[in-house]
Amino acid sequence: MDTPTAAAATDMAQCDKCKKWWPGPKLTRCDTCFTKTCLRCQCSLAGGLHSHVNDCFAFPNNPGVAFDPLLRPSLAAFSPRQGLLQPIQRPFTAMLERTWIHDRPREDTFRLLIDSYRLRLHDAFLFEGQTRPGTIYSGGADSQGDFVQSFLRVAWQRGLLPPWWTQETLLQCRDMGMADFQFHSLRRQLTQAMVVDYYQDATFPTQLRLFAEDVVGRGTCLKSCRPCLDALVDMEDDEAGGTRVFDWNAYNTAYVHQDWERL
């Protein structure tokens, strides 16, 4: 089965790992590094698909959307690929205009606020050794108190929240983070790889970090994501692939290792 017959060639594709030919549905393609991997190779890898998240920081797409984003810019224009009710276009432009959290369904706004906070909290613990009082990193059962006082209230004071934000919606947001059996939990940590895995978008950790920087006023380890924002906004104006031409693999790997000589 190493070489497809001429009749079946159009339905076959080659695995980039074992170099064998397989029917298209048996291959999964990464939307960032463009590698195609067969199900057999995925099963033989430690961690399966999740090992690819750690290596490439890009979750392979399901076959229904695994098209080349350079040829299908409409697919690349919406972020994230999953996890929200209403993904948006030009997220980095919205970030620059301080409207990234606006014009979304309320549930999406709550999810983004919770996950921006959770990733920032984990980054501060991982890179700075912070164990903030009132959080899971100081032994607490959850981080709801710090989330409300140190993140939501500060975001409101800085004018980052939507016009419809009230004390009632603040409590609704907190309650979402305290609900059981769901991803956006203030009882659990959130890592960069988990963000990419859940949202299937290699750009999303940077989006969450940029918003958290606007709230907190600085990046972790004094390393800000903001210097790359203007370039990302320019890429969103380019119809030939948008921010997918940016090397997210290198950037995310450099961030998680705090090794900027990689870039």
Domain ranges of the chain: 9-66, 76-262
Angle separating helix axes 248-257 and 192-199, nearest 10 degrees: 150
CA-closest candidate to residue 209, choices 91, 39, 70: 91
The residue among 241 and 115 whose pLDDT is bigger is: 115
Q: What is the mean pLDDT of residues 10-36?
A: 68
pLDDT band at 157 (very low <50, low <70, confident <90, very high): very high
pLDDT band at 238 (very low <50, low <70, confident <90, very high): confident
What is the pTM for the complete model shown?
Answer: 0.72
Task: Give the chain's mean pLDDT.
Answer: 79
Q: What is the pLDDT of residue 183?
A: 95
Q: What is the mean pLDDT of residues 58-79?
A: 44
pLDDT in tens, 106-116: 999 999 999 99
